[in-house]
């Protein structure tokens, strides 16, 4: 049998895509060539920027238009951090009628409401604001421009 | 002081986190190929559904009571397990993973262990949505016993501490057959000797125990009396999974250097499967950096995947393990340890109760031959091809690991 030589260049997947974005520190100057190579400072990781508590962070897809005035649109992906306390005014994922819904949590005169950010959706009053009903706090929203 | 943290009805609880409609409803999870019941919510236990019972025999009862049935979703359970372990590890000086849903915690130097464990339990619930119970004791056996007792007698608090003062009182509430390491045979023999509870066992003469149960029994006796005998290496292996993990002689940074030991661990652990006539349908691979070197960057990833055809065939398992390793490995870290966990075990014959054994052997050999040709030969449309496929009719989404299967929130 004839011998065959193989040189491994690297896994194709990793050559084609990388979750890390090279990050250059230092402004862009016009006129002179930037010695950017000297300032290469590792990589920025979106993972690290968006996720403070990995064990408590879940991604949830948004469906519907009731939060459009808060900049949260149909099809967006919410980065939900269960480690954060659901304080007044935060946007949360709550459980209403056995389903997840995404609303703003508002405490007003001793009562608890889930408010929309869209005039055509009235607020929902909830009797039980315990951890069973507030599933997690929305920390970021990933919105893809179409 | 040692604690054992254990997820309550772990698989069923994982399903509940992402499906609020399952709250308060009986839930069961089936083994690979939807054969047996491997997890039950409290409501399902109350209906008399037994662990390990055959699913189709239970079908009528489950339909009558509106039991929600799920195929096992090891991708989800593996990810939730890792989250649970991360939260637990962040709260204690050291710890060790015992199984997918259990972890021993070293509480040395923690002033109020019971209060601390209550805080840990609340944190796991808030961060991951998973309910856990924690048993505390001076030894691993006592922690394990305390955990079991917590589930039955302290369900609201979820934490139980066995102290030298209350030890006998609590052990008296635990049937001897529920002790760690006492199988049905030992249990039957102990019962004939009027050893009914764990307390009775803890008061036996060492010589009597050694005669029938050897050094393993003796260790249990001392452990129950509060004298620690079990270190990490001496834990009896669990039958619900096989683990092979070893620390490297020197830290490894290159992927190729880690691939070699991982392949060899996977090979060894697959031998154990074959020895016991088991197949596995889920594989987990994890990597650890040296946590005692906080000056070095830390990265402890893990990933689980399910195999479509449960197998114990070494090349297939090695290929899966290496694929997982390539996904989790990152450059720039000094890795200290790699491990592989084979999960979702079942009997080799479970797929095919109605076929004569001979057919099975032929098919296994054929499978092995086809596998060894690395895809050069594929199955044709043989009549029984479908029966090789893993049955998973009631599988939930891989909510946490697949972008097209994310939970949906209405806005």
> A40, A41, A56, A128: which to substitute to probe chain B, counting the most B Cβ within 10 Å?
A56
- How far apart are alpha carbons B114 and B137 in whole angstroms? 10
CB pair distance less than 8 Å for A102 and B409:
yes
C-beta of residue A59 within 8 angstroms of C-beta of residue A79: yes
Instruction: Per residue of chain B (411 residues), give pLDDT as tens.
Output: 999 999 999 999 999 999 999 999 999 999 877 888 999 999 999 999 999 888 888 989 999 999 999 999 989 999 999 999 999 999 998 888 888 899 999 998 899 999 999 999 999 999 999 999 999 999 999 999 999 999 999 988 999 999 999 999 999 999 999 998 888 888 999 999 999 999 999 999 999 888 888 888 888 899 999 988 876 444 444 457 888 887 787 888 889 889 888 988 888 888 888 888 888 888 999 999 988 788 888 898 988 888 877 888 888 899 999 999 999 999 989 998 899 999 888 776 444 333 344 444 555 665 566 555 544 443 332 223 333 344 677 888 999 999 999 999 999
pLDDT for B362 equals 59
Q: Pick from B21, B86, B410: which is nearest to A101 by CB?
A: B410
pLDDT for B85 equals 93
Other beta carbons within 10 angstroms of residue B33's beta carbon come to: 23
pLDDT for B9 equals 96
CB pair distance less than 8 Å for B411 and A66:
yes
pLDDT for B272 equals 84
pLDDT for A34 equals 55
pLDDT for B366 equals 58
Report chain A's terminal Cα–Cα distance, integer Å: 55
Contacts of B410 in chain A (CB under 8 A): 63-64, 66, 99-102
pLDDT for B221 equals 92
Contact of A128 with chain B, judged by CB distance below 8 Å, is answered with: no
Contacts of A85 in chain B (CB under 8 A): none
B 102-131 → A contacts, CB under 8 A: 125-129
- Nearest residue on chain B to A134, judged by CA atoms? B126
Contact of B376 with chain A, judged by CB distance below 8 Å, is answered with: no
CA dihedral B116, B118, B119, B125 (to 10 degrees): 150
> Which residues have CB under 8 Å from B268's CB, separation 6+?
B244
- How far apart are alpha carbons A38 and A32 in whole angstroms? 15
Counting Cβ atoms within 10 Å, is residue B378 exposed (0-12), middle (13-18) or buried (19+)? exposed
C-beta of residue B62 within 8 angstroms of C-beta of residue B72: no
Residues of chain A with pLDDT below 50 are: 7-19, 22, 25-28
- How far apart are alpha carbons B327 and B298 in whole angstroms? 17
Calculate Rg over the CA atoms of chain A: 23
Other beta carbons within 10 angstroms of residue B407's beta carbon come to: 21
Contact of B404 with chain A, judged by CB distance below 8 Å, is answered with: no
CB pair distance less than 8 Å for A56 and B127:
yes
Which residues of A are known to be catalytic? 66, 103
pLDDT for B358 equals 47
> Which residues have CB under 8 Å from B356's CB, separation 6+?
none
Contact of B194 with chain A, judged by CB distance below 8 Å, is answered with: no
Contact of B397 with chain A, judged by CB distance below 8 Å, is answered with: no
Say what the ipTM of the complex is: 0.74
């Amino acid at each position: 049998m004839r011998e065959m030589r193989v040189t491994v260049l690297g896994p194709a997947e990793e050559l084609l895509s990388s979750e890390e974005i090279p990050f250059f520190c230092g402004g862009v100057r016009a006129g002179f060539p930037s010695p950017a190579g000297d300032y290469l400072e590792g990589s920025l990781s979106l993972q690290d920027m968006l996720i403070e508590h990995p064990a408590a962070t879940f991604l949830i897809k948004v469906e519907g238009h009731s939060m459009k005035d808060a900049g949260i649109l149909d099809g967006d992906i919410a980065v939900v951090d269960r480690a954060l306390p659901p304080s007044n005014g935060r946007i949360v994922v709550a459980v209403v009628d056995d389903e997840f819904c995404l609303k703003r949590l508002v405490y007003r005169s001793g009562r608890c409401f889930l408010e929309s950010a869209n005039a055509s959706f009235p607020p929902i009053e909830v009797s039980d604001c315990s951890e069973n009903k507030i599933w997690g706090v929305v920390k970021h929203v990933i919105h893809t421009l179409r | 002081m040692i604690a054992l943290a254990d997820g309550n009805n772990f698989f069923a609880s994982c399903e509940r986190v992402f499906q609020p409609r399952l709250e308060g409803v009986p839930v069961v999870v089936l083994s690979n190929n939807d054969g047996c019941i491997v997890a039950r919510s409290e409501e399902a236990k109350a209906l008399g559904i037994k662990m390990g019972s055959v699913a189709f025999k239970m079908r009528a009862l489950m339909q009558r009571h509106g039991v929600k049935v799920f195929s096992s979703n090891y991708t989800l359970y593996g990810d939730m397990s890792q989250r649970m372990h991360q939260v637990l590890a962040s709260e204690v000086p050291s710890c060790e993973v015992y199984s997918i849903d259990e972890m021993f915690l070293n509480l040395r130097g923690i002033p109020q262990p019971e209060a601390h464990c209550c805080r840990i339990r609340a944190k796991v619930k808030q961060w991951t949505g998973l309910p856990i119970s924690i048993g505390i004791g001076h030894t691993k056996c006592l922690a394990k016993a305390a955990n079991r007792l917590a589930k039955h007698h302290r369900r609201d608090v979820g934490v139980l501490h066995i102290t030298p003062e209350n030890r006998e009182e609590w052990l008296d509430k635990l049937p001897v057959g529920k002790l760690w390491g006492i199988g049905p045979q030992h249990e039957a023999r102990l019962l004939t000797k009027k050893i009914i509870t764990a307390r009775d066992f803890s008061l036996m003469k060492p010589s009597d125990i050694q005669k029938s149960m050897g050094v393993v029994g003796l260790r249990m006796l001392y452990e129950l009396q509060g004298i620690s005998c079990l270190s990490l290496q001496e834990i009896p292996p669990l039958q619900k999974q096989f683990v092979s993990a070893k620390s490297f002689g020197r830290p490894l940074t290159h992927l190729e250097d880690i691939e070699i030991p991982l392949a060899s661990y996977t090979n060894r652990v697959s031998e154990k499967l074959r020895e016991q006539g088991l197949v596995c349908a889920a594989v987990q691979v994890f990597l650890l950096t040296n946590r005692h070197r906080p000056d070095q960057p830390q990265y402890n990833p893990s990933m689980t995947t399910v195999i479509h055809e449960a197998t114990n065939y070494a090349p297939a398992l090695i290929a899966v393990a290496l694929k997982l390793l390539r996904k989790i490995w990152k450059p720039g870290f000094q890795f200290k340890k790699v491990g592989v966990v084979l999960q979702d075990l079942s009997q080799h014959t479970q797929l095919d109760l109605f076929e004569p054994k001979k057919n099975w052997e032929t098919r296994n050999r054929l499978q092995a031959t086809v596998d060894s040709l690395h895809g050069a030969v594929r199955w044709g449309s043989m009549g029984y091809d479908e029966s090789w496929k893993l049955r998973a009719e009631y599988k939930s989404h891989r909510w946490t690991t697949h972008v097209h299967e994310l939970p949906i929130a209405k806005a």
